[in-house]
Amino acid sequence: MLKKYLTALIAISALSMAVPSQANWFWPEKSTALPSITLQSGVMMPSAKPIALFKTQPQFHFSDQNNQAFGVENFKKQWTLVFFGFSYCPMLCPTTLAQLNNAYQQLTMDHFTPLPQIIFVTIDPARDSTANVKKFVRAFNPNFIGLRTDDVTSLGAFAHELDAAYEKVPGSGKDKDKKGLYTYTHTGDIAVLNPEGELVAMLTMPHTDKDIAHDYQAIVNQLK
């Protein structure tokens, strides 16, 4: 299912670039055209892409790791990197968060400003309580923000807008009937949002600390 979803997503992206006259299907007419920027491991959006969820549900908000509301305005006035995953993830999530921490530390040592707010959004709210999310993100960096919501429909819509896909996979074999024994397959790209809360780039896998830091600096230097 995930493979089919990703194939469809790629096809839609290709179509939106191949048919300029219909670009407003995917890119609002008033969105800001972006310059071409060479990234080590990522791709720029053709235009800055406003997040529709922020307009259709302006009152929607996540809860952060301190159980505080985190809404539309929290995605504005600063650069943001967003990664979707879950705390029970065996490898991809901890590896990516470790790389994000190393990139953040590198940016700090380079005295680069502005530093990004780095956000982890759980795709597994059933198991990822506020306490679990807090413990997970703080294991990598105390400045990281962990978000969750029980509104799985809005969560899915938000993920889709940031080109993230995920699918729940039930347990197998002797564990298939045990409650809570499931996992997720999911994409591992990192979304880059500008201070207007618009999607401007995707940092694609495979990630490295240096590539994340380099690409973030390149994007900000060109667009700030």
**79 within some domain:** yes
The CA distance from 13 to 47, in Å, is 13
**106 within some domain:** yes
**19 within some domain:** no
**23 within some domain:** no
The answer to whether residue 16 scores a pLDDT higher than 50 is no
The CA distance from 148 to 154, in Å, is 11
**15 within some domain:** no
Domain containing residue 157: 2-8+42-110+118-123+133-171+180-223
Cβ-Cβ contacts under 8 Å for 48 (sequence gap 6 or more): 31, 32, 34, 194, 196, 198, 199, 200
CA 60 remoteness from chain centre: 17
**29 within some domain:** no
pLDDT band at 3 (very low <50, low <70, confident <90, very high): very low
The answer to whether residue 1 scores a pLDDT higher than 70 is no
Average pLDDT along the chain: 86
Task: Look up residue 119 and give its amino acid.
Answer: I
pLDDT band at 33 (very low <50, low <70, confident <90, very high): confident
The pTM for the full model equals 0.84
The answer to whether residue 113 scores a pLDDT higher than 80 is yes
197: phi then psi, degrees, rounded to nearest 5: 75, 25
Residue whose C-alpha is closest to residue 125's, from 160, 91, 158, 85: 85
Cβ-Cβ contacts under 8 Å for 205 (sequence gap 6 or more): 41, 187, 188, 189
pLDDT band at 175 (very low <50, low <70, confident <90, very high): low
Are 190 and 96 spatial neighbours (Cβ–Cβ below 8 Å)?
Answer: yes
Q: What percent of the chain has pLDDT above 90?
A: 75
pLDDT at position 22 is: 32
Overall number of domains in the chain: 1
pLDDT, one tens digit per residue, over 152-173 is 999 999 999 999 999 999 877 5
Are 37 and 218 spatial neighbours (Cβ–Cβ below 8 Å)?
Answer: yes
- Which CATH number characterizes residue 67's domain? 3.40.30.10
The residue to which tokens 């992206």 are assigned: 13
**16 within some domain:** no
pLDDT at position 172 is: 73
The residue to which tokens 């530390």 are assigned: 105
pLDDT, one tens digit per residue, over 95-109 is 999 999 999 999 999
**70 within some domain:** yes
Task: Please give the radius of gyration of the chain, using alpha carbons only, rounded to the nearest integer.
Answer: 17
